[in-house]
Amino acid sequence: MTEAMHFVLIVEDDPALQSVLRLLFEANGYRVVVADTAARGVHDARLYNPDVVIVDLGLPDRDGVEVIRGIRAWSAMPVVVLSARTAETQRLAHLRMVRMTMS
């Protein structure tokens, strides 16, 4: 019997980080799709219905929070947030925004 592979959607615009994340997940048996914009991320989340979404907050077309809001409009799938933002106030503000979208 074969094991079902988990499916990960990575929403990240940095090609180097995309490659590293893809390599790490695929090396551990995950199926991976990468989206490089917020719009593509929301589209691919609906299209593929992944087990988990990894979202960068700094995307070229919209803030990653918009991706989470778009997903939360129809799904409670797990979302992991990536961010290079170092200010604690910025991180807390984004977590509050994410929490509000879930309410």
Model confidence pTM above 0.95: no
State how many domains the chain has. 1
> In sequence order, what DSSP letters do the residues of 23-65 get, joined into one string?
HHHHHTT-EEEEESSHHHHHHHHHHH--SEEEEESB-SSSBHH
Residue 1 within any structural domain of the chain: no
Residue 41 lies in a domain: yes
Domain membership flag for residue 21: yes
Q: Is residue 55 situated within a structural domain?
A: yes
Q: Does residue 62 belong to any structural domain of this protein?
A: yes
- Specify the residue for token string 């695929």: 26
Domain extent for 14: 7-102
- pLDDT digit string (tens) for 7-47? 999 999 999 999 999 999 999 999 999 999 999 999 999 99
Residue 57 lies in a domain: yes
Q: What is the CATH classification number for the domain harbouring 71? A: 3.40.50.2300
